[in-house]
Amino acid sequence: MSQGYPIKIYKGVEFRRSCLVLGWKEDGGNLGRKVTDYLNRKLKGQEFAEIEPEEFFPLGGVAIRGDLAQFPESKFYACPEHELVVFQSDTPGAEWYKFLNSVLDVAENHCRVKELYIIGAMVSFSAHTTPRELLTVVNSAEMKTILSQYDVARDMDYQTPPGERPTLNSFLLWIARERNIPGVSLWVPIPFYLAAMEDAQAHKKVLSFLNQRLDLKIDLSDLDQEIREQNEQLALARSRFPQIDDYINRLESNLMLSEEENEELIRRIEEFLKEEA
Amino acid sequence: MGIKLYQEPKLENPVLVASWPGIGNIGIIAVDTLRGILEAEEFGEIEPWDFFYPRRVFIRKGVLEYLEFPNSKFFFKKTEGKDLIFFTGEEQPTEGGRMYAEGRKAYHMANLVLDVAEKFKCRRVYTSGAAVALTHHTAKPRVWAVPNSESLIPEIRRYENTVLMSDIEGRRGHGNITGLNGLLLGVAKRRGFEAICLMGEIPVYLQALPLSYPKASKSVLEVLCRSLAIEAPLDKLDELDQKVQQRIEEFYQQIPLEIRGQLDRLKHMTYAQPAEPGPITEEEKKKIMEGVEKFFKKGGGGG
């Protein structure tokens, strides 16, 4: 425990000046989970701490995903050689302020984190053939200057529309600012019909940026293979099903589909990719 | 998680008037209107972080500029009659996706509000909300008053257009007040404050509509002003009410004729002798309720 927060530290870690990369498990296109899993696998991230779930998640039963009973997890991984801390978590359903402060407590007090990178997907109504963009929202002028050296969009204007609420990523970015931790939210627009599946191009977009920015020296060529395979499968779906091809053609021509057509495209792509898998 | 006071005004035995949003926003509109009329001055707030999820984010040119949370603010006004403290909360702190506050956070917020009241030596608290009633939208809403102490009953009996729970047909003095407008009354009792909750009547068929009901807010304010010995022009609420009544009438016309016919009978309900049965029988009331429930179950209340 630390400062009264429900933090469990398994083992001490040593950092001089680290960065924290955070991803949520239930992200669009599986972005948060895939990126954090990938970093842990490639950099041999060692689990060293977690946030206890009882205050933050409804524990009235278990969710089942992919035939398996799940339990909410919020875990920290250390990659000390790269001065990198990875946090992967289910999305909390309550006590968000306390939860997010707990994340930053571990980051600051145990890992000397000096920069924060938050991963998030946003649904896009573009076709998968449109190149992925990396949009950024920062919490300090300092971070904006740093990002000017990278191929990212840095001038987003946004205001939460009526009836909606800010994302947890914005909440965390704001808390980080209050604690003087420079941070950036990394947003990748993901084609809506891939949002419930995976989007290899989006994964690579984020990982390429992190690789460059944090000087991780990871060989990302395996991601190119994943992108190729996914593109081939989607091309196959288009060639087999004229309706899918028509919908995607229209998206490529910047035409909007109706709500029913959107739903049908999602359903048919999901069915096809599942069958192929 | 706590109270932030920007200044400490010198107040003499002030009265606290508090409200949060609820059905028809009756209480919050009443309290906010009075606060505005009296030009009460803001002097503090309850910090929102631990109670609320943010409402809006403002991002400009890629920089997160501002995160907006629901406000929970204190205001004061020195008057010749009584000094007043107002508290208005823009949202009720909820847990587990419920609509109204309950549990640890609600209790904590109620205590924080009363901590400020106590600091300024306030001993009386008013809260305000809605009373869902078998009444018609063309009728003047009554005010249901619930005190937290026996000693307040004679005073309430002197208020015009006001009933106690025991006066309400079929209630036998029982009921409950959901959310913080009710909880504050109970926590006040526990901490030795005298408190009264004033609830304006809203017709049962309007309770689920996303509309305010300023007509009932006005009824509440009339009682509150009298109790506080304050004179305040309430024309602003009449203007607001006219706009809302038009929308209510549009909705009312969408209700199937058979059910509307039943609801029309509520126009003739009188309360000359509130403790005695009105002109509508219990059987008829049951029919009306069944009709309203049936209509809303069919999704007719979405309008």
Residue B289 belongs to some domain of the structure: no
Residue A204 belongs to some domain of the structure: yes
**Quick check: A94 and B96 CB within 8 A?**
yes
- pLDDT of A2 higher than 50: no
Min Cα distance B68 → chain A (Å) is: 9
| Alpha-carbon gap, residue A18 to A210, rounded angstroms | 13
Strands B41-46 and B3-5: antiparallel
- CA proximity to A187, closest of A24, A46, A61: A24
Residue B187 belongs to some domain of the structure: yes
> What CATH number has the domain bearing residue B114?
3.40.50.10900
Shared domain for A81 and A56, answered yes or no, is yes
| Alpha-carbon gap, residue A87 to A45, rounded angstroms | 10
Residue A1 belongs to some domain of the structure: no
Structural domain that includes position B188: 3-234
Q: Of A200, A219, A238, which one is at a domain's C-terminal end? A: A219
Amino acid at B204: V
Count of pairs with CB atoms under 8 A, one residue in A, one in B: 69
pLDDT average, residue stretch A20-38: 95
* The model's pTM: 0.82
Q: Of A179, A204, A219, which one is at a domain's C-terminal end? A: A219
Integer CA distances (angstroms), A106 to A92, A183, B214, in order = 17, 16, 50
What are the tokens at B97?
């996706």
> In chain B, how long is the greatest CA-to-CA distance?
66
Which position has the higher pLDDT, A5 or A12? A12
Residue B147 belongs to some domain of the structure: yes
Shared domain for A179 and A131, answered yes or no, is yes
- pLDDT of A174 higher than 60: yes
* pLDDT digits 0-9 by tens, B3-25: 999 999 999 999 999 999 999 99
Q: Of A198, A219, A240, which one is at a domain's C-terminal end? A: A219
Write down the H helix ranges in chain B: 26-37, 104-119, 153-157, 180-190, 214-228, 235-254, 257-264, 282-297
Shared domain for A207 and A234, answered yes or no, is no
Strands A135-138 and A64-65: unpaired
**Quick check: A174 and B49 CB within 8 A?**
no
pLDDT range class, residue B283, cuts 50, 70, 90:
low
Shared domain for A36 and A159, answered yes or no, is yes
User: Looking at beta carbons, which residues of chain A come within 8 Å of B95?
Assistant: 94
The helix (H) or strand (E) run that includes residue A165 is: none
Of A98, A140, A158, the CB nearest to B59: A158
**Quick check: B55 and A137 CB within 8 A?**
no
Structural domain that includes position A229: 225-276
Residue A74 belongs to some domain of the structure: yes
- CA proximity to B146, closest of B183, B198, B181: B198
Name the residue in chain B with its Cα closest to that of A153: B62
User: Looking at beta carbons, which residues of chain B come within 8 Å of A177?
Assistant: 64
Query: Total domain count for chain A?
Result: 2
Residue A136 belongs to some domain of the structure: yes
Shared domain for A135 and A239, answered yes or no, is no
pLDDT average, residue stretch A53-63: 83
Min Cα distance A25 → chain B (Å) is: 20
Give me the pLDDT at residue A187, please. 96
Give the list of residues 6+ apart from residue B179 with CB closer than 8 angstroms, or none: B20, B22, B92, B99, B100, B101, B102, B106, B129
- pLDDT of B123 higher than 60: yes
Residue A193 belongs to some domain of the structure: yes
Shared domain for A209 and A248, answered yes or no, is no
Shared domain for A143 and A88, answered yes or no, is yes
User: Looking at beta carbons, which residues of chain A come within 8 Å of B58?
Assistant: 158-159
Residue A195 belongs to some domain of the structure: yes
* pLDDT digits 0-9 by tens, A83-114: 999 999 999 998 999 999 999 999 999 999 99
Give me the pLDDT at residue B32, please. 95
Name the residue in chain A with its Cα closest to that of B63: A138
Note whether ipTM > 0.85 here: no
First-to-final CA distance of chain A? 43
Give me the pLDDT at residue B262, please. 82
Residue B286 belongs to some domain of the structure: no
> What CATH number has the domain bearing residue A89?
3.40.50.10900
Residue A2 belongs to some domain of the structure: no
Shared domain for A231 and A190, answered yes or no, is no
CB-side neighbour CA atoms (13 Å) of A9: 17
Q: Tell me if chain B has a CB within 8 Å of the CB of A179.
A: no
Integer CA distances (angstroms), B76 to A59, A192, B73, B83, B181, in order = 43, 51, 10, 8, 19
* pLDDT digits 0-9 by tens, A202-242: 999 999 999 999 999 999 999 999 999 999 999 999 999 99
| Alpha-carbon gap, residue A210 to B110, rounded angstroms | 46
Shared domain for A63 and A191, answered yes or no, is yes
Query: Total domain count for chain B?
Result: 1
Residue B221 belongs to some domain of the structure: yes
Residue B165 belongs to some domain of the structure: yes
What are the tokens at A62?
């278990």
Residue B195 belongs to some domain of the structure: yes
Q: Which of A230-239, A248-257, B283-292 has the lowest mean pLDDT?
A: B283-292
Shared domain for A84 and A146, answered yes or no, is yes
- pLDDT of A136 higher than 90: yes
Shared domain for A152 and A70, answered yes or no, is yes
Check residue B160 and report its DSSP letter: T
Shared domain for A108 and A233, answered yes or no, is no
* pLDDT digits 0-9 by tens, B193-247: 999 999 999 998 898 888 999 999 999 999 999 999 998 888 889 999 999 999 9
**Percent of chain A surpassing pLDDT 90:** 87
